[in-house]
Amino acid sequence: MGRHFEVRAAAMAATAKAKSAIYMRASKEIYAAAKSGIPDPESNLALRSAIEKYRKTCPRDVIERAIEKAKGGDAVAYIPGRYEFFGAGGSFVIVDTLSDNVNRALVSVRTIVTRKGGKMGSVEYNFQMLGVIDFKGTNRDEVEENLILGDVDVQSVDLENGEIEVRVNPSDFEKAKKVLSDMGITEFDNAQTTLVPNEYITLNDEDLAKFKKMLEELDECEDVQAVYHNVENA
Distance, in Å, from the CA atom of 139 to the CA atom of 146, rounded to the nearest integer, reads 11
Q: Is 171 helix (H, G, I), strand (E, B) or coil?
A: helix
Distance, in Å, from the CA atom of 42 to the CA atom of 10, rounded to the nearest integer, reads 41
pLDDT single digits (tens) 81-113:
999 999 999 999 999 999 999 999 999 999 999
pLDDT band at 31 (very low <50, low <70, confident <90, very high): very high
- Residue type at 66? A
Q: Angle 129-218-20 (CA atoms, 0-180°, nearest 5)?
A: 100
Instruction: Give the other-Cβ count within 10 Å of 98's Cβ.
Output: 19
Determine the straight-line distance between the first and last CA of the chain, rounded to whole angstroms.
32
Residues 6+ apart with CB under 8 A from 26: 50, 53, 54, 57, 58, 62, 63, 66
Residues 6+ apart with CB under 8 A from 68: none
H or E element, residue 226:
strand 224-229
Spell out the alpha helix ranges (H) of the chain: 2-35, 45-54, 60-71, 102-115, 140-149, 173-182, 205-220
38 DSSP β-pair partners: none
Do residues 79 and 103 touch, judged by C-beta distance below 8 A? no
Q: Chain centroid to CA 186: how far?
A: 20
Give the pLDDT confidence score for residue 223 in this predicted structure: 95
pLDDT band at 169 (very low <50, low <70, confident <90, very high): very high
Distance, in Å, from the CA atom of 27 to the CA atom of 101, rounded to the nearest integer, reads 17
pLDDT single digits (tens) 98-157:
999 999 999 999 999 999 999 999 999 999 999 999 999 999 999 999 999 999 999 999
> What's the whole-model pTM score?
0.82
Give the HSE-up count for residue 69: Cα atoms under 13 Å, Cβ half-sphere. 16
Which domains are assigned to the chain?
Answer: 2-71 (1.10.10.200), 79-125+198-229 (3.30.70.980), 126-196 (3.30.70.980)
Instruction: Give the other-Cβ count within 10 Å of 35's Cβ.
Output: 20
Give the HSE-up count for residue 209: Cα atoms under 13 Å, Cβ half-sphere. 2
> Which DSSP symbol is given to 170?
G
User: φ and ψ at 43, to 5 degrees?
Assistant: -110, -10
Give the pLDDT confidence score for residue 4 in this predicted structure: 47
pLDDT band at 8 (very low <50, low <70, confident <90, very high): very low
